[in-house]
Every structure is written in structure tokens, then in C-alpha cells.
A and B are shown apart, each in its own frame.
Chain A
């Protein structure tokens, strides 16, 4: 059945920071650009970003993009591509100034320049001393960025398709990407968005874990679509965890709680961090604290009926300190853990926060995949930016505040790449005759399924499996059994059934389609993690405690077909700077 078709110069999937920065570039160039979004653009998950935008403006003291580059590479545990990282750090100041000119309400210094905050891992002169590099708008940087970009896009005539869910990528026989299929939620109708260039900015997939700080919309739609279309997913074993998310809810409890004197207890009431980090104790770095917590739980010293969490004690700080220095924490604990921290400890677990891997791209935002002996062959017509993409600037571990920098720099760069591509490739290529068939088969399968699996139950099993087998600290036996388990869950996901088959605003159908995407990410993560026999950045294994640059200084590439792994070298050659050779990472 031929699907109804709309034609655009470019279609962008996702209207968070990266998608809207890219669409702005295109719309201001006079191109006809469609942006598809499951939710209203300013309700994208970018809104949750509080930390700021890392950029070496040097407004608070001397700073340089080269120092920012060093911090980013060191943070990445040397897995980041150094050409992309140089590009990110060199372009960051311009990206911030542009955003300022768009009307972003940055905090300011008395002399009118953008104020910059201190942030962990930001240093002057290659790690010598801290530097203030984070540009922010109070604790609402993400919110302000989304509103600024949205207004600017409206002015530039970007066409937003709100409450539309993209389903599948359309590629022709040569592999060129010619658009996407997408479902309008209001009608349930599936359309083809025929585009000369297609850009994914769909964000992360943190909802593969039971303990996640990510909003419900973060279901890895771009990753699922790319994987189904034969594009590999890069470095999916690397997920950043935050030590203190509220157990069972995921909502973050700021590190400030431990900064003010709160500390962690196991079920025996022991302040166990004294054993793991005798000097820094509960103020040790995120990965050290998270690993200690995971070890306590694995060894049976977790608290609660299921012995599955740790307790964060702060009652000894007293009501005054809690209310004055930790605003909002009492409210969060009451709402999401049903405890009043003035009297009782808060149940917490290491919680998934950010996805370092994604759809492989170069620093132009062009999607790349191995072909003809080149691991970085450009996939014509296909672009990705933001958390769904892997450029790779975050490597094995993201430096704080680089997520927003990434959105701006690579949103803009991918937009520029699209403009160049469209100049060189005028007109729409014909769609393949079977364009849309694959999506319609998936929809027909879902509608026709009887005696199938519950979307909720399969999703819950996926999240439990990921949490137990591939969490913040990874054990060989758990990884191995986890691979088998997640593959079994993926088989069940092929047979999901929805009882409500109606067309109009059928949220059950949307959730089933989201699960199709999540499960690809979950399998990619577990398979890649099981294979990587080292500890690097956020991938922390009990049986391989050290980084192994001889065997593992390389990017993982997971293919959906046969759940196959391939690898490609890390680019250690910056654009102009000297290579930062891998060193032992210590702070």
C-alpha cells in the first residue's frame, strides 16, 4: 500500500537542543525543514539539564579551548576521538556567543560578560587548577536553551510536527537515506517524510534501566531506527551513572547532600565508604562511590526488603541545614521515597544518567559506518547530533557540562553539513517502491498479534535485566548470563500485543513501538559490555580492573543483524593540536 507522502529538503527527528539547533541552521538558510517530535519541543529532555554549557570563554580567568580539550579527553578515558574533541572545544565559545545573540538569558558578570560557574573536571593548564567554564542560566540552562531555540525556529519558519513518532529510516538500494516513516498520534496514520537529508536528534535511551534519571520519552527511537536499517551502534557499553538516584524512582539527589555532610549506610548501619575511600569517604568521585554501593548490594549488604538499595543519611544535619542549604531535597525525598530526611535516611541506588554511545558520526555530524575497508564511510543523506549520536566526544565517560556543548556544536555542524550536501545534490531521489512497507509490516504485526506478550511486562523484564546484569559495576558471570537473558527478552519483544487497536491517540501502540527501539539499545549495551574485557571510564568490570590500551583502545560497533560486534580505531589525531597520549587517569 502506497503511503501518503510529504516532501521536504530536510527532516529532523527530535526537537530537543540538538534538533532545534540544527533545524535553525537549515531554516535560516531558506530550506524547507520538518522537525518531528513526540512531545511539544520545549518539553524535550534537554529541559532537565541544569549544569550549564562548557565553553572556554575565559570570562572568569584565563582559559583556552586546548585546556577544555585536555579535560574532555582525560574525562573520556582516552576513548574520545581527538579530532571531534578539538572541534567541540574550539567551536564551543562561538556556540555560546551565538546562543547569547539569539536571546538566551545567561547569568552575567558585572561587566556584562557571561558568568561562568566552576564544575568538576574543568581545569586550567592541563589539570593544574580548577577553572570556571560553565555558562548557565541559573539552574535552568536547558529550559532557557529550549525556549530560545524554539522561538528562533518559529521566526525562521521551521515546520514542527508535534506528537508525531518516527518509525523507520528509508534507505534506497545504494544505502542513501531518503527520509523516514512517521505516525501522527492524533490519527494513527503513517506518512512518508521524503527528504533530501535526514537528521536524528532523538536523545538518549536511559529508560533501558530500571534506575534512570531520564524522562519517560527517552526511549532511544533514533538508535532503534538506525539499528533496524543496518547502521551499527557505537560504544553502547558506556553509560554514565549518578551515585544517588532515589531507589525505585530515579530522581536525582544532588551531590550537594554529601557535600553538606550526608553519608551512605549499608543495611547494617555501617558507613561503608570509610572502607573503600578512607580519605575522601562519601565525597570520593562518582564512579568510586557508585562502585562501592554496587559492591555492597551485590554482597548482600543492601538495605530494604529486597536488599537492593543503600541509605543516604542526613537527619544529623538538622532541619535548618536541610531546608537552607539543600532546598528541594526534603520535598523530593517525601514525594519519591516517602521518607522525611529530617528523620529517616533516603533509599538510593546508582542511577543511569547519560548515554555516551550512539549512532556513529564524524565531527561534521555525518553518520558513518564501515564500508569498502573504511570504518568511517559516510552514509549519504544521514546525520545525527546530540545524545543519540556518537561523534565520539564523550568517549568512555562524559565531562560535566559537555552534553549541552555537544548539542549546540554538533547541532549546528550537522546543519551546515546538510546545507553543503543539498547544494551538491539538488532534487529528491526517487523513493524505493517498497518505501514504507517495513513500517507497515511492523504495524500490521502489532495489530494482528494474538496471545502475545504484554508491553509493560516485557519492558519491566528488560529494565530489571539491564539493572541487575549491566549496571554501574559489572561482574563477568552477570554479564554472561545477562546476554542470554536480554536476548530472550528481545525474542519476547517481537511478540508484543496491544489490546486496544484503535487509531486515534492510541498510547498503547506508541509504547509498544517505543519498546521496539529500547530493546535494540538494551541488547547492544549488554553484548558490547560483555565483550569489552577492560575497565575504562563508565565501563567498570570486577574481573578486568584496569584499562587495557593495547587491546581495547578502540570503539565497539554493534550490528543488529546477528547481534554482531565489530571494532574501529580511536582517532588520536586532532585537527591541529598535538595528540594527547593516553595516561593513567587520576584526579
Chain B
């Protein structure tokens, strides 16, 4: 979980964007660099929660093949689905 007192939050999250699937490495890193800091604390928490998912499930969510029942997650995923890497 994110500890707001720690200034290493972003580093922890950056590391947890290191995945087993290259597709996720690319998308998550791109997202992190492009807009993570603009997210609200609640959205950052949601993002951190998504990183706890299994790689294949997360890729299905990010590539739009599946959807989350959680509204906050789905809203964030909507942004992630628009992330390009080029």
C-alpha cells in the first residue's frame, strides 16, 4: 500500500511496473512517465492496486479484452487503454 509519508512511493511503484510481460512493461512505464504524478492520491492507490493483479489478467484489462467491476479501476483502466508507447 502507498505510504504518503514516504518519498520513495514513486520508486516502489516504478519497480512494481516491472512485469513478466513486455507488453505491460512498456505500457505501465509509459503511463508512469506520462501522467502518474497528475493522478489524485485515490487514483494512485487504485493504480497500485492494479499492479497487484496477475500479468495475464492485467494485460486483458489494459488491452480492453476484459473489464473491471470496480468503477474506480475501470475509470483508470480507461486512461491506461489510451496509452501509446510511440
Instruction: Name B8's closest neighbour in chain A (CB-CB).
Output: A505
Contacting B at CB under 8 A, from A211-246, are 212-217
> Residue A45 contacts which of B8, B12, B20, B86 (CB distance < 8 angstroms)?
B20
* Given A42-B54, A335-B85, A338-B86, A216:B22 Cβ within 8 A: yes
Is residue A43 within 8 Å, beta carbon to beta carbon, of the partner chain?
yes
Is residue B25 within 8 Å, beta carbon to beta carbon, of the partner chain?
yes
Is residue A332 within 8 Å, beta carbon to beta carbon, of the partner chain?
yes
Name the distance in Å between A397's Cβ and chain B's nearest Cβ: 22
- With a CB–CB cut-off of 8 A, which chain B residues contact A215? 18-22, 25
- With a CB–CB cut-off of 8 A, which chain B residues contact A510? 15
Complex contact A250–B18 (CB within 8 A): no
Instruction: Name B15's closest neighbour in chain A (CB-CB).
Output: A507
How many residues on the B side are at the interface (Cβ–Cβ under 8 A)? Answer: 27
Is residue B35 within 8 Å, beta carbon to beta carbon, of the partner chain?
no
For the complex, give the distance between the alpha carbons of A42 and B23 in Å: 16
- With a CB–CB cut-off of 8 A, which chain B residues contact A335? 23, 27, 63, 83-85
- With a CB–CB cut-off of 8 A, which chain A residues contact B12? 505
Q: Which residue, of B12, B20, B86, has the highest number of chain A Cβ atoms within 10 A?
A: B20
For the complex, give the distance between the alpha carbons of A143 and B59 in Å: 12
Q: Which residue, of A38, A147, A249, A335, has the highest number of chain B Cβ atoms within 10 A?
A: A335
> Residue A506 contacts which of B11, B20, B55, B63 (CB distance < 8 angstroms)?
B11
Complex contact A336–B85 (CB within 8 A): yes
For the complex, give the distance between the alpha carbons of A12 and B16 in Å: 21
Complex contact B84–A334 (CB within 8 A): yes
Instruction: Name A163's closest neighbour in chain B (CB-CB).
Output: B15
Is residue B64 within 8 Å, beta carbon to beta carbon, of the partner chain?
yes
Is residue A331 within 8 Å, beta carbon to beta carbon, of the partner chain?
yes
For the complex, give the distance between the alpha carbons of A46 and B21 in Å: 9
Complex contact B22–A213 (CB within 8 A): yes
* Contact flags A45-85 to B (C-beta < 8 A → 1, else 0): 11110000000000000000000000000000000000000
* Given A47-B20, A251-B22, A331:B15 Cβ within 8 A: no
Complex contact B18–A249 (CB within 8 A): no
- With a CB–CB cut-off of 8 A, which chain A residues contact B27? 335
For the complex, give the distance between the alpha carbons of A38 and B26 in Å: 18
- With a CB–CB cut-off of 8 A, which chain A residues contact B15? 39, 163, 185, 505, 507, 510
Contacting B at CB under 8 A, from A480-506, are 502, 504-506
Is residue A565 within 8 Å, beta carbon to beta carbon, of the partner chain?
no
Complex contact A249–B20 (CB within 8 A): no
Complex contact A143–B54 (CB within 8 A): yes
Complex contact A249–B86 (CB within 8 A): yes
Size bin of chain A's contact surface: 35 or more
Instruction: Name A43's closest neighbour in chain B (CB-CB).
Output: B20
Contacting B at CB under 8 A, from A138-170, are 140, 142-143, 146-147, 163
For the complex, give the distance between the alpha carbons of A249 and B2 in Å: 30
> Residue B64 contacts which of A213, A248, A331 (CB distance < 8 angstroms)?
A331
Name the distance in Å between A139's Cβ and chain B's nearest Cβ: 9
- With a CB–CB cut-off of 8 A, which chain B residues contact A507? 11, 14-15
Contacting B at CB under 8 A, from A457-485, are none
Complex contact B55–A143 (CB within 8 A): yes
- With a CB–CB cut-off of 8 A, which chain B residues contact A142? 20
* Contact flags B14-40 to A (C-beta < 8 A → 1, else 0): 111011111101110100000000000
Complex contact B63–A249 (CB within 8 A): no
- With a CB–CB cut-off of 8 A, which chain B residues contact A569? none
For the complex, give the distance between the alpha carbons of A38 and B65 in Å: 29
Complex contact A44–B20 (CB within 8 A): yes
Is residue A175 within 8 Å, beta carbon to beta carbon, of the partner chain?
no
- With a CB–CB cut-off of 8 A, which chain A residues contact B16? 39
Complex contact B84–A338 (CB within 8 A): yes
> Residue A216 contacts which of B6, B18, B65, B86 (CB distance < 8 angstroms)?
B18
Is residue A328 within 8 Å, beta carbon to beta carbon, of the partner chain?
yes
Name the distance in Å between B62's Cβ and chain A's nearest Cβ: 9
* Contact flags A103-145 to B (C-beta < 8 A → 1, else 0): 0000000000000000000000000000000000000101100
Instruction: Name B64's closest neighbour in chain A (CB-CB).
Output: A331
Is residue B56 within 8 Å, beta carbon to beta carbon, of the partner chain?
yes
Name the distance in Å between A474's Cβ and chain B's nearest Cβ: 24
What would be 17 A-B contacts, judged by CB atoms less than 8 Å apart?
A39-B18, A47-B55, A48-B21, A142-B20, A143-B55, A213-B22, A215-B18, A215-B20, A215-B21, A251-B26, A335-B23, A335-B83, A335-B84, A338-B86, A505-B8, A505-B15, A507-B15
Top 7 nearest A-B pairs (CB, nearest first) are A47-B20, A505-B8, A505-B11, A338-B86, A216-B25, A143-B56, A43-B20
Please name 19 further chain A to chain B contacts, defined as beta carbons within 8 Å, in addition to the given A336-B26, A505-B12, sorted by A numbering: A39-B15, A39-B20, A43-B55, A45-B20, A47-B20, A48-B20, A146-B20, A215-B18, A215-B19, A215-B22, A216-B22, A217-B18, A251-B23, A328-B63, A331-B64, A332-B63, A335-B23, A336-B84, A338-B86
Residues of B within 8 A of A (CB): 6, 8, 11-12, 14-16, 18-23, 25-27, 29, 54-56, 63-65, 83-86
Residues of A within 8 A of B (CB): 38-39, 42-48, 140, 142-143, 146-147, 163, 185, 212-217, 248-251, 328, 331-332, 334-338, 502, 504-507, 510
